[in-house]
Amino acid sequence: MELEEQLCLRLARSGSSPETESRTGELLAASLDWDRVMRLVRLHEILPLVYCNLKQLGFSGVPEPVRAEMTSLFQRNALRNELLREELRKLLLQLADAGVSTIPLKGIPLAESLYGDAALRVCADIDILVPPQKFEAAFRALADVGYEAAFSRPQLVTLTGRYGKDCGLMRQDGSTWYPVQLHAGLIWGGPPERSVSNEIWTEARATTFHGAPTCAFSAEWEFLYLAIHAARHGLSPLKFLLDIDRICRREDVNWEAVRQKAARLGWEQTVQSTLSACATLLETPIPPALQTTEAHNPPQSIGAGQNRRAKVAPSLPDAEHSSLQILKETLFSIRLLPSPWQKLRFIASRTFIPTTADFRLLPLPESLFSLYYGLRPLRLIMTVAGWIVSYPLGRRGVRS
């Protein structure tokens, strides 16, 4: 790893030892490319942690312009998170009044529970999980307080709750935008996720978020969700792995129950790969129940992604990685399904069930809505063909 990458990793880790502090001091005294450091902390959404650790070190070796920029970004993130926290509280109250159970995902609640301070995590939006059968009611409740989606067709709302995973909504208040991701599912959505969804809601515990009634994952499901979520996104940004590192250092997780759930769902390899990356980058203590040969011998190279199952690089990703992200995430979701029948149902729903993208491409009157079922596979064929054509061109562009 380059010196800038080493520095970012050390400043983002939980806890420190005299050896770690000594090495961090050596890195800060070295000739660093601070522009690259700033790109890394932004890309991997770790600036708040890096800033606070540098502050504890008296910003030793940090140029004054960089210090000023970090301070400004930290304060802006803290203010933004305060606004998101209050907005989430209002939304949870609104959904509770509508009779909708909720589980806030990631974001501010995770920042407060894992880091003890909402300002220490970058939170881009508000994610809320609701039971699939309550998705339409939740959608209407958000619309009642000014949230708008890219679609409002009742047919699309119904299909999203029945077969989809989530949809995005937005509300503007002056110059501030509040993006919300309303989830009917966590991984696949629809029929393939029904049994997992039922188990999650059965084990969820009632709680409050700053006075608003809501629910929270069990500790075991929180870990599994974050591990799968990180893997689905290619273990990047580094922020995702830092969340998992914090959970692994907690004492309220039944790790044997985690192992049993992962084994039953066929997620063992995915969980182990995520933990392997955490152990390599963050020296995460892997719980004994989840230790494997791979976990004890994690990959040592993280710059080029030589180990396919633990490909994490705290460096700027190649442009080609983003162009096929949707396809990669879809293939990952298919691999997670345990049976061929479930895989087939998932592929069928993604192939034939209309989505917002189909509506944006060709807005049709409600009387012709059934035509979307034929338009959907045609649009997918055209999209995949475009990926196939553009991918080699993109690779040549990156190499040149």
Alpha-carbon distance of 207 to 209, in angstroms, equals: 7
**Close Cβ partners of 326 (under 8 Å, ≥ 6 residues apart):** none
Its pTM stands at 0.89
CB 179 within 8 A of CB 150: no
Contact 267, 332 (CB under 8 A): no
Question: Considering the domain 82-217, what is its CATH architecture?
Answer: 2-Layer Sandwich (3.30)
3-state DSSP call for residue 182? strand
Distance of CA 136 to the CA centre of its chain: 24
CA–CA gap between residue 319 and residue 324 (Å, rounded): 10
What does 227-280 look like in DSSP terms, one character per residue?
HHHHHHTTT-SHHHHHHHHHHHT-SS--HHHHHHHHHHHT-HHHHHHHHHHHHH
State in Å, rounded, how far the first CA of the chain is from the last one. Answer: 23
Nearest to 144 by CA among 102, 94, 193: 94
Q: pLDDT per residue over 146-190, tens digit each? A: 999 987 788 999 999 999 999 999 999 999 999 999 999 999 999
Q: Give 59-113 as a DSSP string.
A: TTT--HHHHHHHHHHHHHHHHHHHHHHHHHHHHHHHHHHTT---EEESHHHHHHH
Question: For the chain, which residues score pLDDT lower than 50?
Answer: 294-323, 396-400
CB distance 280 to 5 below 8 Å:
no
Using CA atoms of 353, 267, 111, 166 in order, give the dihedral in degrees to the nearest 10: 0
CB–CB of 129/102 below 8 Å?
A: yes
Instruction: Kindly provide the residue ranges of all beta strands, DSSP E only, lying in 90-211, ordered along the sequence.
Output: 103-105, 126-129, 148-149, 166-173, 176-183, 205-209
DSSP 8-state code for residue 129: E
pLDDT of residue 16: 65
Q: Which long-range contacts (CB under 8 A, 24 or more apart) does 24-30 make?
A: 24/57, 25/57, 25/60, 27/3, 28/57, 28/60, 28/61, 28/62, 29/60, 29/61, 30/3
- CB of 275 within 8 A of CB of 254? no
Task: Tell me the CA distances in angstroms from 26 to 4, 19, 70, 95, 300, one per residue in order.
Answer: 12, 11, 21, 51, 22
